[in-house]
Amino acid sequence: MYSVTPGTTRRWDVALLCSNKNFSRKPIVQVAVVPEHQIIVSLSDNVISVHDLTVFNLPLLCTVTQTKGATAFDLDLKHHVTLTGDAVVMVRLVVAVKRKLQLYYWKSRKFHQLRDDLSLPDVPRALTWCKEAIAVAFKHDYWLVMLTGKQKELFATGRSQEPLITQMEGGEQLALAHDKETIFVDAKGNATCSYTLKWEEQPLALAYHKPYLVAILPKNIEIKIADPHATVQLVSLEKPRLVCVGTSTKTKSQVYIASTSHVWCLHAIPVNQQIPQLLADKQFDLALRLVDVWEEAQDAKTQMQKHIQHLQAIHLFCSKEYSQAMKIFLTLNTDLPFVIGMYPDMVPEEYQSRLQYPYPIPALSGAELEKALQALVHFLLEIRHKLSGNEGEAGAGGTGAAASKTEADSKYSTAASGVKSRNEKLQIIDTTLLKCYLQTNDSLVQPLLRMRDSYVSVMEGERVLRHAHKYPELVLLLQTRGQHQRALQLLLRHAKKPDSPLFGHHHTVSYLQHLGPQHVDLIFEYGGWVLKSHPDDGLKIFIGDKTASGEVEQLPRPRVLSFLKKTEKSLVVPYLEHVIEEWKDCTPLLHNELIHQYREVVTAAIPVCDPTTLEEVYLTLLKLLVTPSDAQSSSGSPLKQHTKKPPDVKTVLDLLQNYLQCIDLGQALKVLPDDVRLNLLKPFIQASFNLATTACREQQITRGLTQSLKLQNQR
């Protein structure tokens, strides 16, 4: 037995530790060492023997006589800590004896039976522990035998003369040889990879030295890595036959190759020397695998992993693998401006000039730009979902997350070192989404702006929307940000442009309908031109329509009434009728105002009325005053009378006094109540007779003059 250590004058120093020429009577078929218990377990003369490592000549400790007829064995070492804090190594032994598996455990310097023997369908040619199961290779196929006795057939061994089983990842995974391929399975016999590892020739021996698989081929030694699937190196040695992985005095494992006459040691180049070369060759997956086995502090390993992944993501982006690049950026929580800066016209120039990338970023256009933007949209939505789902945590922890970035990460956050708060991140996300939607699917712009928690920057959003001539969307942006004055000014300017999507007054009407009572002054300021040019539609600003009624119903009605009287008086009556009839407003002020408006309408119509119908108008008015409870049914007025009132005799008398010449006294007397005293009506009756007499005399005089004039003309 030898020790192999790094040398001072030469690369390796090899020293003899102990030897025993009479170790066994027959050739050793298989040997294994348990350093923790200072023992050697060997298979020779078809029996398992245990030798002592603590003595120079390696004396025999014991022979497991029950294993007579053994053809193969394997050891399983389990490290654990006892309740007292002591480190303990449990050793389990499985031995193939004819068509059975024998199981033992090490205690008190000898092996004891672990459980009853497990029967097999054939004689094993190789076996390996795999957690609580044993992988067994027969002549024609592989099986997995559980310690419970359950057995599972895996697949055929192929045409290989000797099947090969190699334990990987501490027993979590197995590599099984099948001709020129290696298949990977887990402890349950399920395939762990969708692909197989292919060799140049059929391997004669196989060993795992994390993360490499070392295979002895007939002509050379081939070194591969399973994930990612790649050939690392080909080594030429003279007729190698055996391979194993040993541990040096500094706990660094080495790979040893042996032939019938030589023993070689394969020494891996230090990881910190391999990684720069791998990064230069853009072999990022292999570099990440090497970081896993890099013997450095965890912080240094984490920093290196992030650095490699950032380079990999940028390389993927430059290689047009946009979705894959965004997945890595998302995993690394890369600063937003760094990612967005790889797209044209997405980041302001003052930030763009501060961004530095390790590889030249391609200029995107056409279909490639659209594909890249779709990947960016998915990336931004994922981050937004996380920020929205963890509102409190994100708001409180943003600064801490930024402060914890490593030196390697700072390369990718130069432009965004001040982006720390949740709201700042959301503003960057939403503003960038707006730019993406404008280039890929502009139908998503308005839903983005209408979101309750939309954070689109007003300044940048206005710039890009104006550049894209998306004026309705710009109005929506200003509206959602409460900048109603600017939005209404924009609507006013575009209302008179026939080629504008905001042409016409309907957009202004709709906007004003939703402002509410707190912006009544703005409604009056920008509603006047609509009232004057389109009175009917302008009235909808204050009474609403099918799409808007709640906000307009809350407007201060006396102020609206005053505004209508000053701006467009013809709309006062329709407005009051709607307020009283539709909204059931019982305010006396509004009812009285409607009465006055009706009266003004009637009064204004008198000079142009037909005298034959004038008597009917005043007669109807008398009926309204005498029988107010029946006014609604008889006249069709929108006024709603809640209680029956007594006849307004005084107003009736005033009406008779002022407009007696327009009233048929006979019909008026029929309408008047019976309880009106005659002395009150006497003056009007006499005046009516006088008017009738005067009219009769005037007719007689007119007739006489006409007759006299006719006679004079005949002479």
| Confidence at residue 9, expressed as pLDDT on a 0 to 100 scale | 66
486 & 623 share domain: no
| Confidence at residue 417, expressed as pLDDT on a 0 to 100 scale | 44
Residue finishing a domain among 544, 562, 594: 544
Alpha-carbon distance 342 to 362, whole Å?
8
pTM surpassing 0.75?
A: no
Write the CATH number for 120: 2.130.10.10
| Confidence at residue 441, expressed as pLDDT on a 0 to 100 scale | 94
Nearest to 231 by CA among 243, 245, 219, 221: 221
Residue 241 lies in a domain: no
615 & 540 share domain: no
Residue 224 lies in a domain: no
504 & 626 share domain: no
Domain that holds residue 87: 2-204
Is residue 585 within 8 A of residue 546, CB to CB? The reply is no
Distant-in-sequence, close-in-space partners of 160: CB < 8 Å, separation ≥ 6:
177, 178, 179, 202
3-state secondary structure 108-125: CCEEEEEEEEEECCCCCC
Residue 93 sits at the vertex; the CA angle it makes with 87 and 97, to the nearest 5 degrees, is: 175
Residue 326 lies in a domain: yes
Contacts made by residues 278-281, CB under 8 angstroms, sequence distance 24+ = 279/308, 279/311
Residue finishing a domain among 158, 180, 204: 204
How many of the other CB atoms lie within 10 Å of CB of 86?
Answer: 8
Alpha-carbon torsion, ordered 639, 644, 646, 649, to 10 deg: 20
Residue 590 lies in a domain: no
Residue 306 lies in a domain: yes
Residue 566 lies in a domain: no
536 & 631 share domain: no
Q: Which residues of the chain have pLDDT under 50?
A: 249, 392-410, 413-417, 629-642
Structure tokens at 604: 């204004």
Tens digit of each residue's pLDDT (9 = 90 or more) over 329-357 = 999 999 999 999 999 999 888 888 889 99
Residue 379 lies in a domain: yes
Alpha-carbon torsion, ordered 170, 172, 178, 179, to 10 deg: -30
540 & 657 share domain: no
Alpha-carbon distance 257 to 237, whole Å?
9
Residue 489 lies in a domain: yes
501 & 624 share domain: no
Alpha-carbon distance 94 to 134, whole Å?
8
519 & 402 share domain: yes
339 & 462 share domain: yes
Alpha-carbon distance 148 to 221, whole Å?
39
647 & 514 share domain: no
Residue finishing a domain among 544, 569, 588: 544
535 & 647 share domain: no
- The number of distinct structural domains making up the chain is 3
Using alpha carbons, list the distances in angstroms from residue 411 to 291, 353, 401, 406.
20, 14, 16, 9
